[in-house]
Amino acid sequence: MSRRGFQGAELETAIGSVRLPNPVMTASGTVGHGAELARYLDYSELGAVVVKSLAPYEWPGNSPPRVHPVSAGMINSVGLQGPGLPRWLDEELPALAETGARVVVSIWGRTLEDYAAASEMLGAADGQPMQAVVAAEINVSCPNLEDRGRMFSHSAAMTEAALAATATCGLARWAKLSATGDLVEVAAAAVEGGAEALTLINTLLGMVIDTEARKPLLGGGGGGVSGRAMGPVAVRAVYDVHAALPEVPIIGVGGIASGTDAVEMMMAGARAVQVGTATFADPRAPAKVLRGLARWCAAHGVRRLDEMIGAAHE
């Protein structure tokens, strides 16, 4: 699909300093660390591919079971398992870059020093594959060992500190936040820390009980709930943050499985969207969302995405 999509709709979008040919990306954690889904998706057709979050070291994740279906979605306790940034840069990024993908690398840490170390690794990386990397998504929706295990994104001060710690990465930074009661405050803090854009929202905290065993079903205890059921929560988060911070670009994620879902998120204020859990049921879901978005624009006479971004606020 060209930048103009079906029947001439202009799908190009700008996320701060990053320009993308269209607004549909994969969501971190749902397409692996490299080119795992390249047999199903033409990565070069998507706006960008966001890889599973990486720490500056290899991380084993949680014990099984890790994934369980819930009504209209799933819950996972994978625990950010990953090979670590050094191995990813050497072993996974080259194959991903060869697909023609625009890559967003997601990083996480348990301490501020972890974020700084990951940032320095990215800043020092060079070579042809790195030219495919267009941004770094800073995942602050993980436990902070320096703050009694609270998530970074549940504290405005720690969110700002984590973003500030990644200033050496040499890439545009997007802060991935969770839905909290103080989301607007946390979002503003992320921008103060250096975020060019905000990714809203990460999974919602949840738990499933094994009623026969009388204990949490997942090996990690609780987990993150994702899928269609969280769509309205994500739309509300995007709407509220856009109303408070209208100049800050937002990437909407949560419950998107169709072109119409993407339109709704953009009308709430998002400039781009990410498709996640839908990919587990259909690995071609991001491409289908993109085609559905183009068809919706053509059917409604939308020539440029700017015509509908934030339209629900007018």
pLDDT at 1 over 60: no
The pLDDT of residue 6: 47
Active site residue 297: no
- 114-157: pLDDT as tens digits: 999 999 999 999 999 999 999 999 999 876 666 656 788 889 99
DSSP assignment string, 127-162: SGGGGGEEEEEEE--SB-GGGTT-BGGG-HHHHHHH
Domain count of the fold of the chain: 1
User: Would you place residue 180 in the very low, low, confident or very high pLDDT band (cuts 50, 70, 90)?
Assistant: confident
The pLDDT of residue 3: 53
Half-sphere exposure of 109 toward its Cβ, with a 13 Å CA cutoff? 22
Q: Is residue 67 part of a domain?
A: no
- 189-238: pLDDT as tens digits: 999 999 999 999 999 999 999 999 999 999 989 889 999 999 999 999 99
Q: Is residue 72 part of a domain?
A: no
What percent of the chain clears pLDDT 70, i.e. is strictly above it?
95
Bridge partners for 50 per DSSP: 104
- 27-78: pLDDT as tens digits: 999 999 989 999 999 999 999 999 999 999 999 988 999 999 998 899 999 9
Which entry of 132, 142, 164, 195 is annotated as an active-site residue? 142
Q: Is residue 222 part of a domain?
A: no
Bridge partners for 176 per DSSP: 139, 199
CATH number at residue 23: 3.20.20.70
Domain hosting residue 139, numbered range: 6-62+79-204+227-313
pLDDT at 259 over 90: yes
